[in-house]
Chain A
Amino acid sequence: MTLVIDFPLRATVVDMPTDPLPLDRGRPEASRIADSATDAVVGNAFADGDEWALEEAYRRWGALIHTVARRATGNSHDADDVAQAVFVSAWRGRHRYSPDRAALPAWLLGITKRRIADHWDARSREQRRIEAAGHASEAMPQTEESVEQVADRVLIADELSRLDQPQRQIMELAFFDDLTHPQIAERLALPLGTVKSHIRRSLIRLRSRLEVDGVAV
């Protein structure tokens, strides 16, 4: 849609992205403008306490947080609790979030790591009670460092899933299936040089996206 606004002093012609966005699963207006907001706008609005930004933050990063929690705790039910605790405490503590210092997903991931640590603390207290009662202990809880590693793995897997084809398939064969570059070339019937240059470009892109999210790997 083109809107012409002729200011008193100077004509200005503007193309504005105001095409109506389709209704999305019954989620009304606030979500539809949020669709086009950049991550930085969502972060600023979150810090400012605008509620649409909380829902948008959940839409953008809820699955990431939940997956980190699920992979760290080993079960989906605990991950539900962790994800809920993360967003509730992030919203209540939003005055502590400074958009200038960290991207919102990075800040949320920091809270996620602490909530998972809390989860394991509660687990090990429970375990000590069981041991004190004379029962055999189960597996040791994971350390905080391995939560860090889980978060890195999930972030990378998330970014992989956003690559275009054939880069995505090539990187999945390299990372998920641990194939060598010649094996990938053979599997996909592509020249080895092509495979390598896709991998090179994908790695550069992966890292810059991880840096954009403010999450150092």
Chain B
Amino acid sequence: MSQSEMHAPDDLLAMQAMGEALPDAMGRHVSSCPQCQAELDQWTSLVASGRSSSPDDVPGDPSERVWEAIADELGIGVVTKETEAETPAQVVNISSARRRWSTSWLVAASVAGIVGGALLTAGGTALNSSEPSAPVAAPPVIASTSLAALPQHQGAGAATIVETDEGDELVVDVSDLSTGDGFYEVWLIDPETFQMVGLGALVDDSGRFPIPDGLDLSQYSVVDVSLEPLDGDPVHSTDSVVRGELSA
């Protein structure tokens, strides 16, 4: 195949859009090739937008004031005196071995208090859009972690423990998990004894799992999503996809 019959490489078309001439043979090909023309048009449009932009088009930082207005209108995530007072208290019953949890939460809560209007967003229950927009405190996040892929696997995610009226829930959001035969299951694991509690199947990119009453989250602190074969065996397959350790 001679060069004139080959499609022009992307970077040469990009440079032509910037005003750099193509080599002659390539130029002749591009002028008669609809595919290269379409590609060149896209680059030309990008360059035209770029050349008409100015430093004033660069976004700065998002405005706190606008965020407060949004949160206020939706009635979410506003730290009230009550949540500030309650939140540290509910962490107190976590065993002293993991006292660092309550300490770090106290720091977070007091910083939020100093900021005054600081906003606390929690992985709370979904707000119905028809609900009145009176400010309501979101359920506090007790602990959270990001979920990272294990070797041989891909995917990412986040897990939070939130307090709801029905008790604590684990909220898991994931994306791009490795696929395989079977289903995903969510576990809480004690990293010291390797005991674990299966919370249920994760059928979508996100799920909510009630935490059994009395389960000590300071002990069962690792959130694990495994790939489980459909073999009827309720034991962990040992094929973990993403994992993270909760901290408050």
Contact = CB atoms under 8 A, between A and B. Distances in A.
In this complex, the member of A26, A48, A176 whose beta carbon has the largest number of chain B beta carbons within 10 angstroms is A26
Nearest to A8: B194
Contact of B121 (A26, A52, A80): A52
Contacts, number: 271
A27 B113 CA distance: 10
Interface string B107-143: 1110110110011111111110100000000100101
B145 interface: yes
A55 interface: yes
Interface residues of B, number: 91
Given A66-B66, A84-B69, A153-B49, A31 B121 contact: yes
Interface in A150-193: 152-154, 156-158, 160-161, 171-172, 174-176, 178, 180-181
Nearest to A41: B175
Contacts of B122: 30, 51-52
A119 interface: no
The secondary-structure label for the interface of chain B is mixed
Contact of A52 (B50, B108, B141, B222): B141
Interface of A: 1, 3-10, 12, 14, 16-18, 20, 23, 25-34, 36-38, 40-41, 43-45, 48-56, 58-59, 62-64, 66-67, 71, 80, 83-84, 87-88, 91-93, 99, 149, 152-154, 156-158, 160-161, 171-172, 174-176, 178, 180-181, 196, 199-201, 203-204, 206-207, 210, 217
Interface of B: 10-11, 14-15, 17-20, 42-43, 45-47, 49-63, 65-67, 69-71, 73-74, 76-77, 104-105, 107-109, 111-112, 114-115, 118-127, 129, 138, 141, 143-146, 148, 150, 156-160, 171, 173-176, 189, 191, 194, 205-206, 222, 235-236, 238, 240, 243-245, 247-248
